[in-house]
Amino acid sequence: MASLFLLPHFLPSLLLIALSFTFLLHSHNLPVVKADDNLIKQECGYADAPALCIQCVKSNPKALEADSVGIATIIVNCVSEQANALGTNLSKLAYEAKDKNLTTLYQEGSKVYLDACKDLSTVISSLGKGDYDSANHGLGTTLRNQGLCYVSFQSYEPDVPERIVYDMGVCTALSESAMRIIDRL
């Protein structure tokens, strides 16, 4: 009977020990590798433009705390920011263009890049949920649309500002970098 009175006093301790044991067993199965320069260089090393990839990742204050998924997410955020800037700049160029064909080209390009921002938001959400196939598919669609847009602009390249063509290349290179990381998740 005396042992029944002691049970309530030991119950919290027993519960704490049981939870600690469970946590240790489960945390052992889930290694979390945090980013350091080596992981960033390793992940960006698969990119066609590793220096650009590294610059993008290191521009984020959370980079050194990120794992591979975090690095991919940071790069997708860079792509989204770049796409938003491109979409906005192309919209301004469409408004200012004197040539009707260039106006149409800029409007279509603006739509591609601004739509990409929405798609990239879904990619980031998929990465956060661990749905790497959906993230890969969404990024692939964005990359394909960027490529088609870039090809359209090549026929007008002398009339298109160099900065726009350069920014399109940056957007594509970063998209490919993220795609290569996501492929390995």
- Position of tokens 């020990």? 17
The average confidence (pLDDT) of the chain is 85
Dihedral pair phi/psi, residue 138, rounded to 5°: -65, -40
Residue 126 in tokens:
């998929």
Predicted local confidence at residue 9, as pLDDT: 45
| Portion of the chain with pLDDT greater than 70, in percent | 81
- Residues of the chain below pLDDT 70: 1-35
